[in-house]
Amino acid sequence: MLIQSWNSAAYIVDEIDDARRNLPKALLFGTALVTIIYVLLQVVFLKHASVDQLSGKVEVAFISFKNIFGTEGGNWVSYLIAIQLIATVSGYLWIGSRITFAMAKDHSFWRKIAVKNKNGIPVRALWLQAGISIVLTLTGTFEQVLLYASFLLQLMGTLTVASIFWLKGRKGAFKSPLKPFLQIVFVVFSIWILGYMLMEKPKESAIGLLFVLTGIVTYFFSNRTNKQ
């Protein structure tokens, strides 16, 4: 949930108090904290389980903690991770529905989804997000859903960061430190990851690209409708 929360702060900037001051702090602090936690977790996993045990396995936490606490202890760790994943899914639905709502307002094809109830909750976008999540869960394995969703998120993140080389920043906007060095490093590394996923998991990567193609088609259809 922590990993999901810090970067999602950028998606709800209009709901953050003093966003100009607090958003950069949340992103920078969140990045540093998540990096430290992630590295420490890897140290724990590798200290208590061999590379051969973990190679090609999804349940790396269970394997590592089973070596420490036994099978029963490993199972309890798995239960706690499952509960945490429920919270993460809830967070993604909460954030994702607001992204969908914001996009729907700008495109006539999706405008009927851009509706909030009396409490300011984008209910239609929330139900759409929940429906898509259920369909994805029922039509693929956990690994498949994770892979093509990860490929899509990585691609979108790469394009977003790369856009700074063509778009001019607004006056008074937050200036990233070491620009554009950090952005170039990120884009190059992301392209390497995308290429690796395309070669190793072509089916899942193709499904991710299909979602992108669907978005492109509806985008141009919406623009055409607006002009008419």
DSSP secondary structure letters along 46-90: HHHS-HHHHTT-S-HHHHHHHHHHHHHHHHHHHHHHHHHHHHHHH
Residue 34 contacts residue 9 (beta carbons within 8 Å): no
Average pLDDT score over residue span 85-102: 80
What pLDDT does 3 receive?
46
Mean pLDDT, all residues of the chain: 84
Selection from 98, 93, 77 nearest residue 1 by Cα = 93
Residue 206 contacts residue 149 (beta carbons within 8 Å): no
Please tell me the distance from the alpha carbon of residue 53 to that of residue 58, in angstroms, as a whole number.
Answer: 11
pLDDT band, residue 40 (cuts 50/70/90): very high
What pLDDT does 174 receive?
67
How do residues 125-149 score in pLDDT, each as one tens digit?
Answer: 999 988 988 888 888 887 888 888 8
Please tell me the distance from the alpha carbon of residue 212 to that of residue 207, in angstroms, as a whole number.
Answer: 9
- In 107-201, which ranges are continuous DSSP H helix? 123-138, 142-162, 181-200
Tokens of residue 71, six digits = 């099978």
| Buried-exposed string 113-148: b where 16+ CB fall within 10 A, e elsewhere | bbeeeeeeebebbbebbeeeeeeeeeebeeeebebb
Query: Is residue 74 scored above 80 in pLDDT?
Result: yes
What pLDDT does 6 receive?
62
Selection from 39, 74, 48 nearest residue 59 by Cα = 74
pLDDT band, residue 2 (cuts 50/70/90): very low
Query: Is residue 228 scored above 70 in pLDDT?
Result: no
Contacts of 80-89 spanning 24+ positions with Cβ under 8 A: 84/1, 87/1, 88/1, 88/4, 89/133
How do residues 174-227 score in pLDDT, each as one tens digit?
Answer: 677 788 898 999 999 999 999 999 999 999 899 889 988 988 888 888 877 766
Residue 2 contacts residue 33 (beta carbons within 8 Å): yes
pTM of the predicted model, to two decimals? Answer: 0.71
How does DSSP assign 119-138, residue by residue? TS--HHHHHHHHHHHHHHHH
Q: Hey, what's the torsion of the CAs at 221, 223, 225, 228, to 10 degrees?
A: -140
Query: Is residue 158 scored above 90 in pLDDT?
Result: yes
Residue 78 contacts residue 59 (beta carbons within 8 Å): yes
Lowest-confidence segment of 4-8, 81-85, 121-125 by average pLDDT: 4-8
What pLDDT does 76 receive?
92
Cα–Cα distances (Å) from 77 to 60, 62, 89, 137, 183, in that order, read: 11, 7, 18, 23, 37
What pLDDT does 1 receive?
44
CB atoms within 10 A of CB 208: 23
Residue 30 contacts residue 5 (beta carbons within 8 Å): yes
